[in-house]
Amino acid sequence: MIKNIFFDFDGVIADSVNVKTNAFEKMYLPFGIDIAKGVVKHHKENGGMSRFEKFKLYHKKFLKIDLSENEIYNLSKQFSQLVKDGVINSPEVHGSHKFLEEFKDRINMYVITGTPTDESINICKARGIYSCFKGIYGSPQTKVNWVKHILNEFDLKTVETIFVGDAMADYEAAIDNNISFYLRENYENKVLFSKISDIVRFNDFIDFREKTQLK
């Protein structure tokens, strides 16, 4: 029986992945189209990785620049300004809000995301779903570490807990902590997960209810 669910946010609860893809492209276009394309390609293949890690990697790999912590912070702040309204106003993954409202008092639900914690909290409040979660956990801490922390902090049983995500970082966080992974499948991650068989796949929350048998 599922008693605890860890949710990624972008692409799982909100259909907001493209908002962040467009923001990365916009920030790196001044350095050239080829660099922007390289950044977008990596971003799409590594959803769930925090923006702090991505800026450090992209500047080093594509621009041969080692960023200071302060420079990473400033780029992340600029990124937040570009994406916040877009994420708040993005459409839900079909059926997600209804599911959250219906199960908030029956299942322990948490958000574990690559977005900074404070920003994620504000987004959930603005979308009217903040009260559905027992906690919201974001970067700079990794998803693997957050899953481990929550399992230990609240003494959750792994056999009663699942991670619902759409990125390899979500899958790795689940596998590293010995919990089941449910993939919200889309056209971008379908190929990425094509060779992984030990996961449950769903398209929207109508499908998710059937796969989990949560009524």
Give the DSSP per-residue string, 162-183. EEEESSHHHHHHHHHTT-EEEE
**One domain for residues 98 and 201:** yes
The answer to whether 76 and 116 are in contact (CB under 8 A) is yes
**One domain for residues 173 and 100:** yes
**One domain for residues 122 and 204:** yes
Assess whether pLDDT exceeds 90 at residue 88. yes
For the stretch 21-71, pLDDT in tens is: 999 999 999 999 999 999 999 998 887 788 999 999 999 999 999 999 999
**One domain for residues 97 and 80:** no
pLDDT grade for 191, boundaries at 50, 70 and 90:
confident
If we measure between CA atoms, which residue out of 163, 168, 166 comes closest to residue 181? Answer: 163
**One domain for residues 110 and 57:** no
Assess whether pLDDT exceeds 90 at residue 9. yes
Owning domain of residue 75 = 17-88
What CATH code is carried by the domain that includes residue 187? 3.40.50.1000
Q: Once rounded to an integer, what is the mean pLDDT over residues 78-88?
A: 93
* Whole-number pLDDT of residue 129: 98
**One domain for residues 69 and 79:** yes
**One domain for residues 113 and 202:** yes
**One domain for residues 84 and 150:** no
Assess whether pLDDT exceeds 80 at residue 159. yes
The answer to whether 19 and 9 are in contact (CB under 8 A) is no
* Whole-number pLDDT of residue 71: 97
**One domain for residues 113 and 151:** yes
For the stretch 110-136, pLDDT in tens is: 999 999 999 999 999 999 999 999 999
Q: What is the DSSP letter of 8?
A: -
* Whole-number pLDDT of residue 187: 81
* Dist CA 175 CA 43 (whole Å): 22
**One domain for residues 77 and 95:** no
**One domain for residues 29 and 95:** no
Domain limit, last residue, from 72, 88, 104: 88
Assess whether pLDDT exceeds 90 at residue 190. no
92 strand-pairing partners: 14
Residues in the chain, how many?
Answer: 215
Q: Check residues 215 and 175 and name the one with the higher pLDDT.
A: 175
Assess whether pLDDT exceeds 90 at residue 165. yes
What's the pTM?
0.89
Written as one string, the DSSP assignment of 106-161 is TSEEEEEEEEEHHHHHHHHHHTT-GGG-SEEEEETS-HHHHHHHHHHHTT--GGGE
Written as one string, the DSSP assignment of 19-86 is HHHHHHHHHHGGG-HHHHHHHHHHHHHTTTS-HHHHHHHHHHHHH-----HHHHHHHHHHHHHHHHHH
**One domain for residues 120 and 199:** yes
* Dist CA 161 CA 169 (whole Å): 17
Across 64-68, 137-141, 148-152, least confident range: 137-141
Domain limit, last residue, from 55, 88, 121: 88
- Number of domains the chain contains: 2
Q: Once rounded to an integer, what is the mean pLDDT over residues 75-83?
A: 93
Domain limit, last residue, from 88, 110, 140: 88
* Whole-number pLDDT of residue 26: 95
How far the first Cα of the chain sits from its last, in Å, is: 12
